[in-house]
Amino acid sequence: MSGVDQSRRELGGQFALRLRVKIQRQDEGYVLGLTPSQFELIRRVVITTVGPPRSSEMIGLLAGPAARDVLRTVSRMDIQSSSSGVELHLTPNELHGLRSILTSAYLDADSEETFYVRTGFFTENVKGVARAMSNAIGEL
């Protein structure tokens, strides 16, 4: 069994019970309610997908004009001391950009092992969070 398969088996149910994402309208934007694990997944995926060496043009075309703003938002947040939920305050464009980033990240994965080494998460976890975001948006 490869290291990735072993890690997947060990983490198997870790995200299964935590795939609910909360989204609420607030003023002109939205508040995305996440568990610390979900936020860490988002942070790592956003940084590896939108960060250097990708060009601004490429990022804008793949994830929308707010993709760099999403990168700045998640890069600045520090949740190390928090064991409770994490709130991300996003504009409609940033929310769209975040979901686009998550979707393009798992679609563009060369292999599960490469994706896991790069982000520390499996593509199925990213798909689950992106799907949970879609479900929460549908409930607004």
Q: Is 88 helix (H, G, I), strand (E, B) or coil?
A: strand
- Whether 98 is covered by a domain: the verdict is yes
Closest CA to 39 of 3, 70, 4, 13: 70
Worst-scoring range by mean pLDDT, 15-19, 41-45, 53-57?
15-19
Helices 56-63 and 92-107: angle between axes, nearest 10 degrees: 100
Q: How confident is the model at residue 59 (pLDDT cuts 50, 70, 90)?
A: confident
Query: What is the domain range of residue 133?
Result: 18-138
Q: pTM of the entire structure?
A: 0.81
Closest CA to 94 of 125, 119, 70: 70
Give the model's pLDDT for residue 12. Answer: 45
75/11 Cα distance (integer angstroms): 25
Q: Per-residue pLDDT tens for 79-136?
A: 654 567 889 999 999 999 999 999 999 888 889 999 999 999 999 999 999 999 999 9
- Whether 10 is covered by a domain: the verdict is no
Both structure tokens of 27: 């003023």
Split into its structural domains, the chain has a count of 1
- Whether 12 is covered by a domain: the verdict is no
Q: Per-residue pLDDT tens for 43-55?
A: 999 999 887 777 8
